[in-house]
Amino acid sequence: MSMNTQGRPTGTGTTGFAAAGSSLLPSEPLLFEIGDTEHSGVDLPDVEIGGDYLAGCERQSPIDLAGLTEPEALRHYVRLSRLNYSIDSGMYPLGSCTMKHNPRLNEKTARLPGFADIHPLAPVSTVQGALALMDELAHWLMTLTNTAAVALTPKAGAHGEMCGMMAIRAAQDAAGEGHRKVVLVPESAHGTNPATAAALGYAVRSIPARDDGTVDVEAVKAALGPDVAAIMLTNPNTCGLFEPEVIEIAAAVHAAGAFFYCDGANFNAIMGVVRPGDLGIDAMHINLHKTFSTPHGGGGPGAGPVVLSAALAPFAPVPFVRKGELVEHAEGTHLGRITAFHGQMGMYVRALTYMMSHGGDGLAQAAKDAVLNANYVRARLGQVFSVPFPGQPVMHEALFDDSFLAGTGVSTLDFAKAMIDEGFHPMTMYFPLVVHGAMLIEPTESESKQTLDTFCDTMLGLAHDAKAGNAARFTAAPTRAPRRRLDETRAARSPVLKWERPAELPQAAE
Ligand SMILES: *Cc1c(COP(=O)(O)O)cnc(C)c1O
């Protein structure tokens, strides 16, 4: 056993727990701090390579990898995983993110060798099963949305937005309408919407939200003009509300010669109940990783297929699947390729498994249960928490603002940190921006009433504690997490991204 620079014991005997401050908090050194570079976990014979196989590019200095044994490496990662909160360890009420249970069946099918072990450059004749699966998934995405085409390749919701807006631009360029340089974005849109429009060079024209949190069709009409390329509307919107005037908005947008991009990341609220094509949308991404489950977060993996109306279908990116055939090069005005190869195969398998195991009625039931759960949470918490838009029922998520905390000295951030001490992942905070100190909670359909009640009891208990003047509990939180409060500004401004060998640690054997 050796000691690392912090004086922690390292090596096989590491427990993963070290004293930090007054409490015993789990901690885990880096691989480099556990192993030393002089020893290796495996005995390999010395390599004698004659000749200049590497054309003079041989490594000149030691590679400096920690030489761990297999159990040492395994335990390191298992210990790290135990510091994480996950959907498999508890409820994850992050609004807009749809952290629902990931059925193990999906994982099983995604690991079938015919899907998991194929190579994107394999001859098409050898991957017909995978292509058939993509074809079937595409079919159901178009059926659920009543649209004419789908581009499967976008690798996330934001990527899907980019793809859909590029199809709109390609269509307008082809029609001699390339002068349309403005995109309308309601205040209640997801932040990726204005970011996508701006990234593509469009000017963003903001549409204010009404007092009830929805988009005003009159405000949209007033903002429309010959310079407008499209509206990007999130529906259900980020206040969790279904836009009641969406059909009128679509009609007004089309009458002005513009396209209707719908952010359908949260399709999970309406799948099997409403077909967006019937509402007049021209393009919409569906986050497979939210709506049809799959583990996600922390940067991936995701998949954000875009369904397209008949008007936009000719401008879909390649490749696409057409009756068992992979179309890599299409004639015409399509926008080309937006990703290498064919997208996230593992996500396709999981999403289709989710669809087929639920069936059409099951998908509709899942959406209705998600809506019921969100309204249950809103009704229970709404007894104490402030509900900014009490009018219509919510869809898949419930929005609160921080006015119920006025005068308590507790902020939304403090409240979220106290939730960690109670064993819950925090909700989405300070988003959407249309309300002050937002708390956005999405329970999803996969939580039982018992779990929802435990969650609501905990939240109400915290709220009562805040109102009773116990601010210190909140401002000190979290005290039971692996890490206390982080200096987030410093972490963002000067992140430490690379391990540097402390001078006193031994160098690898030359
Ligand atoms: C999650 C989400 C996005 C972005 O999806 P990513 O896969 O994270 O890029 C866009 N819009 C809405 C409404 C979302 O909820």
At 504 the pLDDT is 66
Q: What is the pTM of this model?
A: 0.88
Please state, for a pLDDT cut of 90, what percent of the chain lies above it: 70
Residue 403 lies in a domain: yes
Answer for the pair 112, 129: CB distance below 8 angstroms, yes or no: no
453 and 482 part of one domain: yes
Residue 508 lies in a domain: no
341 and 419 part of one domain: no
Residue 309 lies in a domain: yes
161 and 273 part of one domain: yes
Report CA(85)–ligand 1 centroid distance (Å): 21
Range of the domain at 379: 365-493
At 300 the pLDDT is 61
In order of 17, 31, 197, 278, 491, the CA distances from 25 in angstroms are 6, 19, 44, 54, 20
Answer for the pair 318, 337: CB distance below 8 angstroms, yes or no: yes
152 and 283 part of one domain: yes
Report CA(45)–ligand 1 centroid distance (Å): 51
For the Cβ of 158 lying below 6 angstroms from any atom of ligand 1, the answer is yes
Each residue of 155-205: pLDDT tens digit? 999 999 999 999 999 999 999 999 999 999 998 889 999 999 999 999 999
Report CA(14)–ligand 1 centroid distance (Å): 40
218 and 199 part of one domain: yes
Q: What is the DSSP letter of 390?
A: -
Residue 510 lies in a domain: no
Report CA(88)–ligand 1 centroid distance (Å): 22
For the Cβ of 419 lying below 6 angstroms from any atom of ligand 1, the answer is no
For the Cβ of 293 lying below 6 angstroms from any atom of ligand 1, the answer is no
**Residue 110, CA atoms < 13 Å, CB-side half-sphere:** 20
Q: What is the DSSP letter of 161?
A: H
323 and 438 part of one domain: no
Residue 507 lies in a domain: no
Residue 201 one-letter amino acid: G
At 363 the pLDDT is 97
Report CA(419)–ligand 1 centroid distance (Å): 24
- Ligand 1, atom 4, lies closest to the CA of 157
80 and 162 part of one domain: no
d(CA 19, CA 74): 23
For the Cβ of 156 lying below 6 angstroms from any atom of ligand 1, the answer is yes
Q: Which of 37-51, 227-241, 371-385 has the lowest mean pLDDT?
A: 37-51
At 15 the pLDDT is 36
d(CA 184, CA 207): 7
Domain end, chosen from 330, 354, 378, is at: 354
In angstroms, how far apart are the furthest CA atoms of the chain? Answer: 79
At 336 the pLDDT is 86
For the Cβ of 109 lying below 6 angstroms from any atom of ligand 1, the answer is no
Q: Which atom of ligand 1 is nearest to the CA of 234?
A: 13
79 and 155 part of one domain: no
Each residue of 77-108: pLDDT tens digit? 999 888 889 898 999 999 999 999 999 999 99
Residue 46 lies in a domain: no
By most ligand atoms within 8 Å of CB, the mutation choice from 185, 192, 238, 339 for ligand 1 is 192
The torsion angles phi and psi of 233, rounded to 5 degrees, stand at -115, 130
Q: Residue 56: pLDDT band by 50, 70, 90 thresholds? A: confident
239 and 347 part of one domain: yes
Q: Which atom of ligand 1 is nearest to the CA of 302?
A: 7
d(CA 415, CA 428): 12
d(CA 310, CA 66): 56
217 and 304 part of one domain: yes
Structurally, how many domains does the chain consist of? 3
Length of the chain counted residue by residue: 510
329 and 374 part of one domain: no
At 362 the pLDDT is 97
For the Cβ of 157 lying below 6 angstroms from any atom of ligand 1, the answer is yes
Residue 369 lies in a domain: yes
Q: Which atom of ligand 1 is nearest to the CA of 192?
A: 10
170 and 290 part of one domain: yes
Check which CATH number belongs to the domain holding 392 and give it: 3.90.1150.10
- Ligand 1, atom 15, lies closest to the CA of 96
For the Cβ of 263 lying below 6 angstroms from any atom of ligand 1, the answer is yes
Report CA(289)–ligand 1 centroid distance (Å): 10
Check which CATH number belongs to the domain holding 131 and give it: 3.40.640.10
Q: Is 172 exposed, middle or buried (0-12, 13-18, 19+ CB in 10 A)?
A: buried
Going by C-alpha positions, the residue among 245, 208, 238, 212 that lies closest to residue 391 is 212
Domain end, chosen from 326, 354, 382, is at: 354
Residue 476 lies in a domain: yes
In order of 254, 323, 328, 397, the CA distances from 317 in angstroms are 23, 17, 9, 32
Each residue of 448-502: pLDDT tens digit? 999 999 999 999 999 999 999 999 999 999 999 988 998 889 999 999 888 887 7
In whole angstroms, what separates CA 317 from the centre of its chain?
23
**Residue 214, CA atoms < 13 Å, CB-side half-sphere:** 19
